[in-house]
Amino acid sequence: MKLFVGLGNPGQKYARNRHNIGFMALDRIAADHGFGPWKSKFQAEISEGRLGTEKVLLLKPQTYMNRSGQSVGEAMRFYKLESTDVVVFHDELDLAPGKLRVKAGGGHAGHNGLRSIHEHIGAAYDRVRLGIGHPGRKEMVSGYVLSDFAKSETSWLDDVLRGVSDGAPNLAQDEGGKFMNAVALRTAPPRSSKTAAPKADTPSTPAPDTEDDDRSAMQKLLDKFR
């Protein structure tokens, strides 16, 4: 069994925040893959289903971001899971908007949600880092992540979420490369090799008259210059 965790803050106020892209990713997976209804358990909203042959629990902590680890730890203990069975979807300042990376283990880089998860289950879990870009200055980060995605960002955001959903069965099978390929097909689809359209036919020069011409060579020359 896999535990997919999306990070965000609960409540409609935060629903479209950049910080909530992890919630958005799980919502898309649940909708596209026929998961069960969301229920309240483990201080979270959970939904159960299957991705390919793998049973998967989707979990959105309702503890607010900086206490996400409480919920994740509780669910892990209940299902007797290892930290390597956990995949966390979270916003990533160090990746440009629309970019995505899969990472196994590592530090929390100051992300409050990851910091809390580290405290409760350790660092040996997988992450899907969903790029949102950086506002440019450290003092602007808090306001930036807690602000909504702009309307102009709708297109790339939808592509990323759909790509995550497309590749989710691969992720559940620990096939990170195939997962990334599925995302790339949405976010950077290959250009079709189109051959140049044939040029329109140019008007052809009328065929010379093929009737018998009994004029002499000199007469033909004289007629040409008339």
Domain-embedded: residue 203: no
Domain-embedded: residue 126: yes
The answer to whether the beta carbons of residues 36 and 42 sit under 8 Å apart is no
| Helices and strands, number each (H, E), in the chain | 7, 7
Q: What is the CATH number of the domain that holds 47?
A: 3.40.50.1470
Per-residue confidence band for 219, with pLDDT thresholds at 50, 70 and 90: low
Residue 204 confidence (pLDDT) above 50: no
Count: domains in the chain: 1
What digits encode the pLDDT tens for the residues 78-93? 999 999 999 999 999 9
Domain-embedded: residue 205: no
Q: Is 138 exposed, middle or buried (0-12, 13-18, 19+ CB in 10 A)?
A: exposed
What confidence score (pLDDT) does residue 188 get? 87
Q: Active site residue: 19, 33, 111, 118, which one? A: 19
Per-residue confidence band for 202, with pLDDT thresholds at 50, 70 and 90: very low
Q: What pTM value is reported for the model?
A: 0.83
Domain-embedded: residue 224: no
Closest residue by Cα to residue 113 from 135, 134, 86? 86
Determine the structural domain holding residue 129 and report its residue range: 2-187
What digits encode the pLDDT tens for the residues 48-58? 999 999 999 99
Domain-embedded: residue 225: no
What digits encode the pLDDT tens for the residues 144-155? 999 999 999 999
Residue 94 confidence (pLDDT) above 50: yes
Domain-embedded: residue 79: yes
Domain-embedded: residue 226: no
What confidence score (pLDDT) does residue 210 get? 42
In the annotation, is 111 catalytic? Answer: no
